[in-house]
Amino acid sequence: MPWPTTPEALLEEQRLLSERTPPAWRFDREVLIGGCFVCFAEDPEALAAGAEPAWAAAVTFEAGRRVAASLVEGATPARYEPGLLALRAGPLLAAAVASLSPAPDVLLVNATGRDHPRRAGLALHLGEVLDLPTVGVTDRPLLATTGAPVDAPEVPAEAGSLRLDGVDVGALVQVGPGSRGVWVHAAWRTDVATAKAVVGSVTGPARTPVPLREARRIARSARAAAQGAAPTPAGDPRPQRSGNAPGSEGAFHAP
């Protein structure tokens, strides 16, 4: 199925996606876990011309070890708009993940799932396109509410769930005391409990889950090389927020 290329087409596709009820996927410790990330040139002139350079990376991890990686360079014609991230990032991310061998059994996506105006964020949409269970991971919620400020250094356990229209759509996963943690989102074929289990299994001492952190490093290093800048070092720099509105789907999409 081709990706929608206009806001109107994406809105209709999201409406249809929100109504689908695929069979639930259940996590076990033997699965391959992937992550994907896209970064952009942040070039207003290129974007105005309809071709802003972008780099998408994807990885597969097995038992804590990276067993596959891919990188796709392309261009995006779309500016960021809340709720329409798929127009800007979907095709590149799908191409990067489709290039992985071995492919993951479940994929971490830097985007929301059901926490979305039409209950079909990019994490859910990407999973449907790839026929792959997905989990969203973001720095903050998009629309869903929680019982504590999203920037609180520690969130009480009873406040660590995301609800939208009375439905649980996500939850907080914290590394340890004093960590802000990340918000994980039910997406394609996953519920909140499964999303927490997957992210918890690949979260080490750093805040960002390991596969997503590695995909981010690869994408940013490729951008740096293309722009003549220093590559992103290994490790886990604090997830940054871009100039997008707070709570955007891609909360780690930072320059």
pLDDT of residue 43: 83
Residues 198-246 have pLDDT tens digits of 999 999 888 899 999 999 999 999 999 999 876 656 544 333 332 233 2
Residues 79-103 have pLDDT tens digits of 888 899 999 999 999 999 999 999 9
Residues 45-85 have pLDDT tens digits of 887 788 899 999 999 999 999 999 999 999 998 888 889 99
Cα–Cα dist 11/172, whole Å:
28
pTM: 0.86
Residues 30-227, CATH architecture: 2-Layer Sandwich (3.30)
With bands split at pLDDT 50, 70 and 90, how would you rate the model's confidence at 152? low
| Six token digits for residue 135 | 């989990």
| Six token digits for residue 88 | 């800007």
Question: Helix 122-130 crosses helix 85-98 at what angle (to 10 degrees)?
Answer: 40
Domain ranges of the chain: 30-227
